[in-house]
Every structure is written in C-alpha cells, then in structure tokens.
Amino acid sequence: MACALAKHRLPFVSIQRHLLMSKRLGAAAAVLLAAFAIAGLPPLTERATAQTAAGKQIPRMPDGKPNLQGIWQTRNRAAYNIEDHHAKLNMPAGKGVVEGGAIPYQEWALKKREENFVNRYKDDPFSKCYMPGVPRIMYIEFPFQVFQSSTHVAMTFEWTNVHRLIYTNGSKPVEGIEFWMGDSRGRWEGDTLVVQVTNHNDKTWFDMSGNFHSEALKVTERYSLADADTMRYEATIEDPKVFTRAWKMSMPIYRVKDMDRIFEYQCVAEGEEASGVFHREPKTWYPK
C-alpha cells in the first residue's frame, strides 16, 4: 500500500479521507496514520496553517506586498572573504556564504584570484573608495536603509552615500551602458522580491580577498522576510567568462533597531583628512 501511495503521490488530506471512509481498509488507515505521526510529518492542513500564520507576521505595504522598509545590516565576515577563511592581517577568520563552499572558477580565473589575494591591500577597488558593486554592497560592514513604493525599492547605504534604485514597474534595463552598481530591475514572486542586476563593469570585487568577475556578470537577488526583523538574502552569480557554472551565496540580514537613521561615512574625505590632504576651512568646517 505504501508503494502504491508513493507512486501516485496522493495529498495527505486525500489519503486520510480515503482511508478513514473505507470500512475495508479501516485497520490499514490506522496503521498508516500512526506511521505519519511517528515520522513527525504534520498533516498538510497544519503546515498550511503554520505558513499562513508566518506570512501574517511580516509587515506589509498597503498593496499587500512585504514591507522591507527600515535599516538593515549583516552580521557575518563575508566582506573579508565570501568563502571560509582563516585569520590574516586585517582580516578576521570567518565562515563563508557560498553554497557548496567553493566558487567554481575556471582554471585561469582561479590563478587570477590568487594574484588578487596577494596584492589585495593595494589592488582592492573598495580600499580605493570605488563603489563596491552588487552584491558586495549588501554585506559590507555598514548598515543600509530601504525605502519602498509600489513601483520602486530604494536603498541608501551609510558607506559614502551609495544608493541603489530597484525598478519594480516592469521597465527594462538600459543598453550599452556599464555601471559600478549595475542596473537593477525587480519583480515580486509571491512574498519574495527578485532582482535582476545586469550592466556591470569589471572593476569591482566580491570581497577584499580578490574574488572577482567580468563585465558579463549577471546577479539574481532574492529578498524575503523570514520574520519582521530578519531578511533572507540570496544572490545567484552567473559569469561564463570567469566561472564554470552559476553559483549562489546566501545569508540573513538583520533589522537594526537602535538607529532611527543611517549616518555618513565619506570614504574619500576620511582618507584625505587622515593623510593631511584635506584642508579644513575654518569658515565652513566644524572645529576639531
């Protein structure tokens, strides 16, 4: 009987109804229901109720879409290396966020990544105050704030006031232009915001360890609320010039509750001030 049920894959509720209404199979029904209970499989009705309850707990916009607005920040070490890594100078050890563990580089690209790692302190574009690109901007150690309407999702980042504008109005990406932060076009799939990011340049890294891509990069992001204060972030990476196949990274991003606004970190200005290049004009600048 179990084989027959598995073969036809009847819904659990239908199995219950069929077996309990059959006098001839009454004993078998009791055995089967006991087996489901022992296996710890809740009836579909219970699981559906639990999923519905979870969906009601997340904040929503007037149009019913999940409300992603607020200040968010990661709590991982992906900014240093998206793969598992030991501690190095200016790099704390950390667990990776790449599913499967290792990035599937082509042979030549793996050698290039190793060269980047050796020269990371002088070659990392981020250390030169260039925009981090997507997805790196999402997991650097600076918070960001989300604003949302029926046609757009906007993100503004504490780091150098970088921002992203994700169009959810059905518009198409522009052609023939490369962007440091890519061109983001989103759509809702149920309660998940799916964002296609294209038109990248080849000048950004995924982290400070030299993981890199070409201008052929395509990033597919997925944002979904696990609860009111936890957002699940996934990014599928495609770049046939650098990788042997598509691969994915994923991580939770947490709501920041002790801030009512993000602050400012101006990378170029801070660097110039520290080196003495930036001159404070007393008439227009706050005293030290």
User: Residue 85: how many CB atoms within 10 A of its CB?
Assistant: 19
Q: Tell me the CB-side half-sphere exposure of residue 256, using CA atoms within 13 A.
A: 19
Res 281: pLDDT: 72
Distance CA 285, CA 271 (A): 17
Res 283: pLDDT: 74
As given in the structure block, the two tokens for residue 57 are 């707990």
Res 125: pLDDT: 97
Q: Burial code of 217-255, b = ≥16 C-beta within 10 A, e = fewer?
A: bbbbbbbbbeeeeebebbbbbebeebbeeebebebebeb
Closest CA to 207 of 107, 108, 74: 74
Closest CA to 137 of 235, 55, 58, 69: 235
Give every residue of the chain whose pLDDT is below 70, as ranges.
Answer: 1-56, 285-288
Contact 104, 239 (CB under 8 A): no
> At which residue do the structure tokens 């580089």 appear?
105
Res 1: pLDDT: 44
